[in-house]
Structure 1
Amino acid sequence: MNRQSFCTTATTAILLAIMAAPHPIADAQERDTTPVPPSFTQGEAQSDVTRLYQWKGDNPRTANVGTIKSADGIEWTVPAKTHFQSATQAADLYNEANGVKPEGIADVDLEAIPVIDAGVDEIFTAYVFGDNYFEFFVNGKLLAVDAVPMTPFNSSVIRFRTQRPFTVGIMGVDWEERLGLGFEKFKGAPFHQGDAGLVAVVKNEAGEIVSVTDASWKAQTFYTAPLKTKECLVLDGTIRDSSKCSTEDTADGTAYFAAHWPIPKDWSSAGFDDLAWPNAATYTNDFVGVDNKPAYTNFTDLFDDPKSDAQFIWSSSLVHDNLVLMRTTVGKLSK
């Protein structure tokens, strides 16, 4: 076989192999962009109501969970099915409920915080402020959960050992008092639409920032309420956009709707394909409203580091989206 024939044959073989071989990105796009229709519920959850936590200090709140059935017969836990009662609670960065109120990061004894094993190699430290509740995963392993589901507003620190690259998954929950409706009781309003938001910083053992929450994270919604009408929810492929829904309080929201989607079992694993998930939406400190929350403002040099400013992230609606899954992958060391 001459050189030209060999090259032609080889090229043809390579092209055929490429066309025949599975294309993970294309397959992922085809698989993940198939829209998953929501299940709708209407009214307030009345079943299996359990009290997880109660704060009796300033602005007392009770964090309950319950179940409600959708029109298609599926039973949903609202606001979310959590590991609050069974998992390790994250160490306090600032937590009024536990009397932990440092004036800044210099007053926090990081070495006293146990290191959670999520692999080998390096030690990392994650700092998280969530409104209201979070669960923190690394490569699919649940490391810690928020110590306070609702109020008082707190911030947390998690030390863990793993190796790069690693995937961080955070489940964020905006808690509710009108279970299944997304409403809370606030300043005399029995049906108030609260808001959410989460900010996080991950540092290595040398104190260098290796990851911050920003628009590069993925964020997908799995529970949206309150919806005055089902039609206000815009569904386009994997986009679940409630940002056009009404944000007004009401005297009676018992007839409002909620939308629910099933959570993938492996959503926090390194191998989970989040290609088609929307990127996180980012929000300013002023928009979230953290100027009166020392769990954040005592650590602005940490969360608002001018070299790598962590941003508040969530889905497209801080108000309506109550259960949001967020992911990012921290890459390999540069050579």
Structure 2
Amino acid sequence: MNGHTFTTAIATTVLLAINAVTHPVADAQERDATPVQPSFTQGEAQSDIVKLFQWKGNNPRTANVGTIKSEDGAEWTVPAKTHFQSATKAADLYNEATGVEPAGISEVDLETVPVIDAGGDETFTAYVFGDNYFEFYVNGKLLAVDAVPMTPFNSSVIRFKAERPFTIAIMGVDWEERLGLGFEKFKGAPFHQGDAGLVAVVKDAADETVSITDANWKAQTFYTAPLKTKECLELNGAIRDSSKCSTEDTADGTAYFAAHWPMPEGWAAADFDDSEWPNAVTYTNDFVGVENKPAYTNFTDLFDAPQSDAQFIWSSSLVHDNLVLMRTTVGK
């Protein structure tokens, strides 16, 4: 997310404090699993560049994808291999690009939103604000993807039928302009480290909240950049912690590194074993920086309801971790 700059000292202090609560070091050290070593790339992706979306309005951005080879010869799609070009786009809750700009939830006509069959007779509605892009699954079935990969900042609504319990899985992507490096251009800085975050609320047909994003979700990282050095990345069992890596902008980040892990087969399925994944880390609205984004602030009565206040979630680093898979089970 552009528009919110961190200092290294503040970011490190806050993230370490959050990590201590969400997945304590002692817990990680008790795991016997050998860390899955990442593949490292260095520099910017130059191959197979494809334009997915271009926004020419306020804060213009172009969302591209490309490929890059790692030191071990593997090829990676950056920032992520998505279904943006082929999947159903989520309906707009708020989207400046399409002119859908309600002042609040009372102006949203849910009856115009199609209901997607995820296997079951009960109807649910999911509201999602993701920085920048998400893909939404129920019991392994891809229901919809974000309509805007990067900017303008938008929010989405997805209606579906399912049977409790059901598993929600979300792929979150923090987009980048320097493909393979995790950098974007911001206020004249050609190598700025943007940040991420995702918040979601799920309601049933009676308008009762059945799920919110919080620290009970699981969240695992599969692409992290920019890394000034490889050594700043800490691996311990299933923990892939980049929170100690530098968050400073730079005049030239072309020699920075990125770490990649392959996404596991069936990661969105209900029976996928995510028990070794770390819990999601939660972040406040102020920390994420949403005060100037009406796609969120127009719906604070929804996302920040007093009795069911959804929290922004991600991995241990909003800044570095660009591809994060998140999961929860509703009604178990």
Same fold by TM-score greater than 0.5 = yes
Q: Is 1:286 the equivalent of 2:286? A: yes
TM-score scaled by length of structure 2: 0.90
* 1:1-335 equivalent positions in 2, closer than 5 A: 33-332=33-332
TM-score scaled by length of structure 1: 0.89
Partner residue, 2:16: none
Give a deviation string over 1:18-43, Cα, whole Å, max 9, x none.
xxxxxxxxxxxx99933210000000
CA distance in structure 2 between the aligned counterparts of 1:114 and 1:133, rounded to whole angstroms:
21
Is the Cα contact below 8 Å between 1:32 and 1:276 reproduced in 2?
no
Is the Cα contact below 8 Å between 2:150 and 2:175 reproduced in 1?
yes
Is the Cα contact below 8 Å between 1:32 and 1:238 reproduced in 2?
no
Letter of the 1:44 partner, please give it. Answer: E
Is the Cα contact below 8 Å between 1:130 and 1:172 reproduced in 2?
yes
DSSP-derived class of the 1:106 partner = helix
Give a deviation string over 1:278-311, Cα, whole Å, max 9, x none.
0000000000000000000000000000001000
Letter of the 1:52 partner, please give it. Answer: L
CA distance in structure 2 between the aligned counterparts of 1:254 and 1:235, rounded to whole angstroms:
24
Is the Cα contact below 8 Å between 2:34 and 2:236 reproduced in 1?
no
Is the Cα contact below 8 Å between 1:171 and 1:326 reproduced in 2?
yes
Is the Cα contact below 8 Å between 1:134 and 1:170 reproduced in 2?
yes
CA distance in structure 2 between the aligned counterparts of 1:226 and 1:65, rounded to whole angstroms:
16
DSSP-derived class of the 1:34 partner = coil
Report the Cα offset of residue 265 of structure 1.
Answer: 1.6
DSSP-derived class of the 2:301 partner = helix
CA distance in structure 1 between the aligned counterparts of 2:74 and 2:32, rounded to whole angstroms:
22
Q: CA RMSD in A?
A: 1.1
Give a deviation string over 1:193-217, Cα, whole Å, max 9, x none.
0000000000000000000000000
CA distance in structure 2 between the aligned counterparts of 1:265 and 1:186, rounded to whole angstroms:
36
DSSP-derived class of the 1:167 partner = strand
Counterparts in 2 of 1:32 and 1:47: CA distance versus 1, 3 Å: farther
DSSP-derived class of the 1:97 partner = helix
Q: Which runs of 5+ in 2 are unaligned?
A: 1-29
Partner residue, 1:10: none
After superposing on structure 2, the runs of 4+ consecutive aligned residues of structure 1 that deviate more than 3 Å are: 30-34
CA distance in structure 1 between the aligned counterparts of 2:202 and 2:224, rounded to whole angstroms:
28
CA distance in structure 2 between the aligned counterparts of 1:236 and 1:181, rounded to whole angstroms:
23
Letter of the 1:120 partner, please give it. Answer: G
CA distance in structure 2 between the aligned counterparts of 1:186 and 1:209, rounded to whole angstroms:
37
Counterparts in 2 of 1:306 and 1:32: CA distance versus 1, 3 Å: farther
CA distance in structure 2 between the aligned counterparts of 1:308 and 1:103, rounded to whole angstroms:
21
CA distance in structure 2 between the aligned counterparts of 1:115 and 1:196, rounded to whole angstroms:
28
CA distance in structure 1 between the aligned counterparts of 2:59 and 2:203, rounded to whole angstroms:
33
Is the Cα contact below 8 Å between 1:79 and 1:323 reproduced in 2?
yes
The structure whose RCO (Cα within 8 Å, separation 6+) is larger is 2
Q: Which runs of 5+ in 1 are unaligned?
A: 1-29
Letter of the 2:282 partner, please give it. Answer: T
CA distance in structure 1 between the aligned counterparts of 2:32 and 2:61, rounded to whole angstroms:
38
Partner residue, 1:4: none
CA distance in structure 2 between the aligned counterparts of 1:116 and 1:33, rounded to whole angstroms:
38
Letter of the 1:272 partner, please give it. Answer: F
Is the Cα contact below 8 Å between 2:31 and 2:237 reproduced in 1?
no
CA distance in structure 1 between the aligned counterparts of 2:34 and 2:106, rounded to whole angstroms:
48
Partner residue, 2:3: none
Letter of the 1:34 partner, please give it. Answer: T
Percent of paired sites with the same residue: 85
DSSP-derived class of the 1:62 partner = strand
Work out which of the two has the higher radius of gyration on C-alpha atoms and give 1 or 2.
Answer: 1
CA distance in structure 1 between the aligned counterparts of 2:309 and 2:81, rounded to whole angstroms:
31
CA distance in structure 2 between the aligned counterparts of 1:79 and 1:295, rounded to whole angstroms:
23
Is the Cα contact below 8 Å between 1:127 and 1:200 reproduced in 2?
yes
CA distance in structure 1 between the aligned counterparts of 2:324 and 2:83, rounded to whole angstroms:
15
Partner residue, 1:17: none
DSSP-derived class of the 1:263 partner = coil
Aligned residues: 303
